[in-house]
Amino acid sequence: MIAQLVSRLLQAIPVLLVVGFLSFAIFTYVGDPVSIMLGQNATPAMRIAMRHALGLDQPFLVQYWHFMVRAVHFNFGLSYRLALPVSQLILERLPATTELVMTSAVLALLVGLPLGVYTGIRPNGFVSRTIMAGSLLGVSLPTFLLGILLILFFSVLLGWLPSFGRGHVVNFTHWSTGFLTLSGLKSLILPSITLGLFQMTLIMRLVRTEMLEVLRSDYIKFARARGLGPRAIYFGHALRNTLVPVITIVGLQIGGLIGFSIVTETVFQWPGMGLLLVQSIQNADIPVMSAYLMLIAVVFVVINLVVDILYYVVDPRLRVKR
Amino acid sequence: MAGGADATLLEVRDLVVEFPTRRGVLRALDGISFSIARGEVLGVVGESGAGKSLTGAAIIGLLEPPGRVVGGEIRLDGQRIDNLPQAAMRKVRGKRIGAIFQDPLTTLNPLLSIGRQLVETIRTHLPLSESEARERAISWLEEVGIPAARQRIDAYPHEFSGGMRQRVVIALALCAEPEMVVADEPTTALDVSIQAQIIALMKRLAAEHGTAVMLVTHDMGVIAETCDRVAVMYAGRIAEIGPVREVVKHPSHPYTSGLMASIPALDRKVARLAQIEGAMPRLTTIPRGCAFNPRCPKAMDVCRQEKPGLRPAGATMAACHLYEVENV
């Protein structure tokens, strides 16, 4: 088990090196940092001095090595736009995105899983058909439209919930949380629904399909033949067997949520990393973009690791004895 | 025989099972009647699609929808079980009628340890604590011949071979001490060398616990070795039913005769095995009269007109007009 985890971690290293290379490449070759930093009126001598100071006159591989060493130390240089350390910018934005993503993921699981089980157990019931028809909406409605509709109803017409921002947050040393204040929680509702609805319907439809498949299997028939009750059959036997694909998809989706909550954060002016990325792209703020790329790669690697561990927990056949 | 052959345990009378389909209703079982005494082993043979497994599924109340019982009745110990509500039927399944399925590789839940599955089944039916149920599970595993049962109880199905898994399935079917077991081709998916062991095990356990067995198979060898009586099925009906010895040695129904002639024997030399011409009809094209008449060497006019009922024919009962004529 531990040996397998270590080997998984080792496999992640090449992935990070490649992503690091891409980050480095856009950092170095998209735009000219020297003219961006010195402006139009710099003399050639100043440019050469700056190139030297930034290490841009060194061989390619040396520059790559330095970039990776700095990246490991979470040092991605200064933002062109805000002239602040990129690491500081990202750390400031990280809590907002993390809280939003976790809330939507939990919401999606808590609603999607039971609905999937229910519609899988009674595929032909009226309620199931209604839910399935509704879920088509969830899968096909674009995020920005859903966000705008929610704002229109709950913020503009009803005035119940705030339409933008995080509300009041409580600050700890490195973390600001909106979970502890009423306005923070209220602000979280619309964005997390907007972000989570697609995932919820996806999980629901996936669980439903898997349930339908598993409920046809011989071991479910045998469980019935042994006189087990519906709860034991549906939750003890069937749901457990649907979990491996569900874990896979949920893992990938959470990675996607963290990386690409851009639209939702833009619609709700949520001060998270997605919004930071959009603003950086608009201003060609290359250091932020490359740091962001690295961060997302790390997030995916970590999530894949967690998914692998969950496989071992769920499925004994994967616990290979050595 | 533990229970005495006179006390009827299960009685099936005129059982009709139908499958509504888009092209009309298919009658898969057409008036099946038989009974099983306490402790008796009844074999059910027939070709694929004859309705053997369906009969078993109807008895344990687990017909695959849209299949449904539309006529007749099934009585266990005098009480009707074919029309019980779901919750009441669950108390019959496992507790009073156990089931053993064909493929032990797919009948055990791969994600739960065998101990978990046994304890769960035992506690569903018997008022035992977790640890008592576990002890009972271990003793059942020992009884079905799992070596080092106490160490292996927490192992998962994939850690056992096919034969061992079928032993676990048998333990699961018997762990709540049912009065009867429906075994649906319990050895078909196993290695030939394992088959005899599993059959011997089932035979021993049934005798020791006085459990009646309905053994569905298409292996006449297994039937001859194991069963007290045998029912031969053809196209959703019972063609002949009687003591194994009589059915094997002196078959009355022309289909049974053909079936017996097609079994190779080691002690006689035959150039070519006998075979019954033609194939069993599909459910959509069952002929008028006796379903076997197009293939029957002794078919008469009446066979193309009327369905024969089960009549005494020698020491067995056969659904054949030959005997109706003789006995009138």
How would residue B282 be classed by pLDDT, with cut points 50, 70 and 90? confident
Question: Nearest Cβ partner of A218 from B93, B101, B121?
Answer: B101
Do A226 and B106 lie within an 8 Å CB cutoff? no
Instruction: For residue B322, give the nearest of B292, B294, B295, B302 by alpha carbon.
Output: B302
Q: How many residues does chain A have?
A: 322
User: What's residue A320's pLDDT?
Assistant: 65
Identify the residue with better confidence: B278 or B119: B119
* Interface residues of chain B, partner chain A, Cβ below 8 Å: 60, 62, 90-95, 98-99, 101, 103, 106-113, 120-121, 124-125, 156, 158, 169, 172-173, 176
pLDDT over 60 (residue B134): yes
* Residue B99, amino acid: A
* Residue A26, amino acid: I
d(CA B13, CA B134): 39
d(CA A65, CA B94): 67
Question: Nearest Cβ partner of B90 from A217, A222, A227?
Answer: A227
For chain A, the structural domain boundaries read: 2-72, 89-318
User: What's residue A94's pLDDT?
Assistant: 86
Phi and psi, residue B68, nearest 5°:
-155, 155
Q: Give the ipTM.
A: 0.87
Coil, helix or strand at residue B135? helix
Do B176 and A227 lie within an 8 Å CB cutoff? yes
How would residue B107 be classed by pLDDT, with cut points 50, 70 and 90? very high
CB-CB neighbors (< 8 A) of A219 in chain B? 106-110
User: What's residue B5's pLDDT?
Assistant: 43
Question: Nearest Cβ partner of B106 from A217, A226, A227?
Answer: A217
Do A222 and B95 lie within an 8 Å CB cutoff? no
User: What's residue B33's pLDDT?
Assistant: 92
Using an 8 Å Cβ cutoff, are A291 and A23 in contact?
A: yes
Coil, helix or strand at residue B25? strand
Using an 8 Å Cβ cutoff, are B126 and B133 in contact?
A: yes
d(CA A103, CA A159): 22
User: What's residue B327's pLDDT?
Assistant: 47
Q: Which two tokens stand for residue A105?
A: 């993921």
Cis bond before residue B66 (omega within 30° of 0): yes
The Cα diameter of chain A in Å comes to: 87
Question: Nearest Cβ partner of B91 from A217, A221, A227?
Answer: A227
d(CA B25, CA B267): 46
Residues B28-59 have pLDDT tens digits of 899 899 999 998 999 999 888 888 889 999 99
Residues B215-231 have pLDDT tens digits of 998 888 888 888 999 99
Identify the residue with better confidence: B118 or A166: B118
How would residue B3 be classed by pLDDT, with cut points 50, 70 and 90? very low
pLDDT over 90 (residue B180): yes
CB-CB neighbors (< 8 A) of A242 in chain B? none
User: What's residue B296's pLDDT?
Assistant: 86
DSSP code of residue A78 = B
User: What's residue A40's pLDDT?
Assistant: 73
Selected for mutation to probe chain B from A222, A237, A242, A312 (highest B CB count within 10 Å) is A222
Question: Nearest Cβ partner of A229 from B90, B101, B169?
Answer: B90
| Arithmetic mean of pLDDT, B279-293 | 84
Instruction: For residue A206, give the nearest of A274, A253, A144, A276 by alpha carbon.
Output: A253
| Arithmetic mean of pLDDT, B11-28 | 89
Gap from A127 CA to chain B (nearest CA, Å)? 20
User: What's residue A311's pLDDT?
Assistant: 86
CATH topology of domain A89-318: MetI-like fold (1.10.3720)
Buried-exposed string B229-248: b where 16+ CB fall within 10 A, e elsewhere: bbbbbbbbbbbbbbebebbb
Residue of A nearest to B117 (CA): A223
Per-residue pLDDT 10s for chain A (322 aa) are 677 778 888 888 888 888 888 888 877 776 676 776 777 777 888 888 877 777 777 787 888 888 888 888 888 777 777 778 888 888 888 888 888 888 998 999 999 999 999 998 888 888 888 888 888 888 888 888 888 888 888 887 887 888 777 777 777 777 777 777 777 788 888 888 888 888 899 899 999 999 999 998 999 999 999 989 888 999 889 998 998 888 888 888 888 888 668 888 888 888 888 888 888 888 777 888 888 888 888 888 888 888 888 888 888 888 765 4
